[in-house]
Chains A and B, each alone.
Chain A
Amino acid sequence: MISNLINRKIFTLLKVQYSNMLEYRVEIALWAISGIIPFFMLNIWTNNNLNESINISDTLLSRYFLCAFFVRQFSVVWVVFSFEEDSLMGKVSPYLIQPLNPFFRYFAQHLAEQITRFPFALIIAFFFFILNPESIWIPNLGILLLSIVSTFLSFLIQFLIQSIVACLCFWTEKASSIERLLFIPTLFLSGLLAPVVSFPAYVKSWIYLTPFPYLIDFPANLLSGNETNISGGLIMQILWIFILFPLFKKIWSEGTKKYTAMGS
């Protein structure tokens, strides 16, 4: 019954946010295009034959970066910026006195944006395959489903990390500057610029203890068919969600006590 109600709320939120997102379809197409950093990295890797050092073929590498592009498209999060703006402008106030945590709104906003983004991502992938026909492959259904789950878990981890940072708005007002600190490890350790497997062994062992490789590297390797520890990766993703969620709840409950409803 309770889950039904929540589902209905989320479904309506999703529907409304999707309608809202469709008002911005041009912007979403541009955002999708702006996420092509993995293709630049692919170019750098193949032109310098860097893949030879980690024993990955050109084909597998190009599939990896295509999958990194896809995972990134469906796990990108900007809640810290939205929440910070809403918090500073006093827009959070009416949401706070509704019987639904305001973060559900942002969550639905992100999901709606992902749905809107999907066709644009497919078009980019289509052009990628035209330029790299040797990279075409069809993942088996099981792997595809696990990759979707893993990408969603990656989105959840990033959403929770940013939501925790966003809650720091209650103390610092400019939480996005703290998010900037996380941007560097996310960029280098997530697998967006290079597969984590390319890092030295002693560094890798540390990286795998952080949430970063489970954001892009793990789901991208899974989808592209590269060798990866599927169960280990999924368990780590779930583990990070179990660590981050209570942390978010705690910081939210403490933060709202500090809320001053500025700008309203």
Chain B
Amino acid sequence: MINAGDTAFVLIASAMVLLMTPGLAFFYGGMVRRKNVLGVLMQCFIIMCVLGLQWVLFGYSLSFAPGNAFIGSLDWAGLRGVGLEPYADYAATIPHQAFMIFQAMFAVITPALIIGAFAERMKFSAFLVFTLLWAFFVYDPIAHMVWGTGGLFRNLGVLDFAGGTVVHINAGVAALVTALYLGKRKHFPQAVAPHNLPFTVLGAGLLWFGWFGFNAGSALAANGIAVNAFVVTNTAAAAAGLTWALIDWLHNGKPTMFGTVTGAVAGLVAITPAAGFVGVIPAVLIGVGVSIICFLMVTVVKMKFGYDDSLDAFGVHGIGGIFGALATGLFASKALNPAGADGLFNGNPKLFLIQLGAVLFTLVYSLIATFVILKIVDKLIGVRVNEKDEAIGLDLTQHKETAYTVLE
């Protein structure tokens, strides 16, 4: 039975999640040098177009149509049979297409997250082919395993409320692989100043806003679970943003704007898999914990190992996602959400092990598959721009535009 309130809520949540991709574009766009800002915005925006089509034609079917444990069938290709009646296995009170379009926005933002790792040096043509292949061979199978009926992890009882594993770990690991594969930018490890931090703050604000759709919307109904997800999402972001500011203050003498928004986004990432299964106090702990861990990753570990994860897509999304998925295994509570399970701290160590298994599998699968795809694209067209184009910037060399004029 279609419920009007639920349907309205999911449609609005879908629109909010869509807005996260341009939000991410500004979040990342502000961090790069001015000669590359359009390159980043374009990569994010074109994903809305490319994945928007891929999803309705093939992606939704491969992810959610009944299939085997690893991938869905092509029965729903072109949305054949995906109509305006509910499909109870996923959401019993909204039209099947509402569920489909909500999921489409997740399929869009996930590959967009990877952009942060190869910013300022990837060829646009190679990026397009890579993204499309990645959607088919990494996102769709992992989404099916975690969320699709008959999926491996869904059957094992893995809890991933809004996509910590599917979205953040998956994209985060792919980000690390691309950063390593493409190699460092010319100036690395010398830091370059972000060209427009207000853009980054604007982007973080849009992400925070959109994340309510992402997490609360994942309840797929306008109910108590959605409210819980909304509240803990805000709480974790607040705790993480404040924590990062305080670490900055202690460590560098001053709290930074850049650090505060980075922390808030890390908090949003970490609460994502847990949002429907934990209460407010665990959300605070998750927020504080993720900022400490991500701070260490991007300031100490990255420099020690010397990989150029340019905008910290792995350091924030990969690590934050892993932390969140494991924290779900610790804090999840059946009293809060009967559809979930109890975590380690509520007397069920098994859930933690299941979560760990899903994290490791996703990590290894995304690592290998991303590497193979990169290798193929590199052989076909070459993934990295030449040195001169990198020096001139991606805006002019890949798009024949510049973001800013000098006069007028």
- Are A and B part of the same complex? no
Chain B interfacial positions (CB closer than 8 Å to A)? none
